[in-house]
Amino acid sequence: DTFRQLAPLIAGICIYSGLVAYLELEYWKLSEMSYVRNLPVMHSLLGFAISMLLVFRTNTAYDRWWEGRKLWGSLVNNSRNLAMKLAVILSTEETGQRSFFRKIIPAYAYALHNHLHKEKTRIELFEDEEHKHIFHDIDHAKHVPNQVALIMYQHIQQLYNEKKITGEQLLFLNAELQSFTDICGACERIKNTPIPFSYSVFIKKFIFFYIMTLPFGYVFQLGYYVIPVVAFIFYVLASLELIAEEIEDPFGGDSNDVPTELLSQNIHRHIAEII
């Protein structure tokens, strides 16, 4: 993927390196005693700096991706735990209550997925005649995950008021209910706090000037072989930056982002098996 994205730039770098090599070797005929020959000293000094910057950049982006994956792993586990607790607490005769929670728990996962991807939440997937009035009140212009979580809180409180669960069981269920909002807030923090733009732009500028000055010094040692060497160095450095850009937003919808839709489908299937 990175090679296809960088192919036009790699071709341009090859042409540029070939032109520099031709000018220095054939047109200007710079001698080996020219001060231009000493430019690799600068690249040796800057090479360490650019490698440290790219390592920090990649690690920071990966930390954001891995945190997003851990948050959705917690959502999967907490959804299962809530379903298991409700499956034990609610009697088998409570078919209406079981049907409600079988729909509302995965509905939160789908709502969070669409909220993070700025898509309209398809709550209608969970609507039926029995529970249509519950989801009908959801305003898609507002924070949908919060509204789904509020419905769960209200329904659990209703079960307590109707003496279908005890106070101890209410506290027993609260941890999973609260974790949904905590996970949503943490995902929003990652989504809404990107890597500082000035930092990302500086690395791109650094890579650009580093690559554009490479042919001037190394042409004396490599001749026209400087063309593939500079192109390969550019490919490696630019690919690291592209990979970091792709994974720094784990909820951006790229192929390597956290598979939130697949995880939502897994939650849907597992909750249906438990309750």
pLDDT tens digits for range 184-216: 999 999 999 988 888 889 999 999 999 999 998
Q: Please give the average per-residue pLDDT across 107-131, as a whole number.
A: 72
* Global confidence as pTM: 0.84
pLDDT of residue 122: 55
Contacts for 258 with CB less than 8 Å, ≥ 6 apart: 65, 68, 69, 72, 250, 251
Say whether pLDDT at 120 is over 70.
no
pLDDT of residue 39: 78
pLDDT of residue 3: 87
Closest to 124 measured CA to CA, from 107, 149, 141:
107
pLDDT band at 71 (very low <50, low <70, confident <90, very high): very high
Q: Please give the average per-residue pLDDT across 251-263, as a whole number.
A: 89
Quote the mean pLDDT of the chain: 88
Place of tokens 């917690």: 74
Closest to 179 measured CA to CA, from 74, 102, 105, 266:
74
Q: Which residue has the higher pLDDT, 129 or 148?
A: 148
Say whether pLDDT at 128 is over 90.
no
Place of tokens 């036009």: 8
Q: Please give the average per-residue pLDDT across 160-178, as a whole number.
A: 90
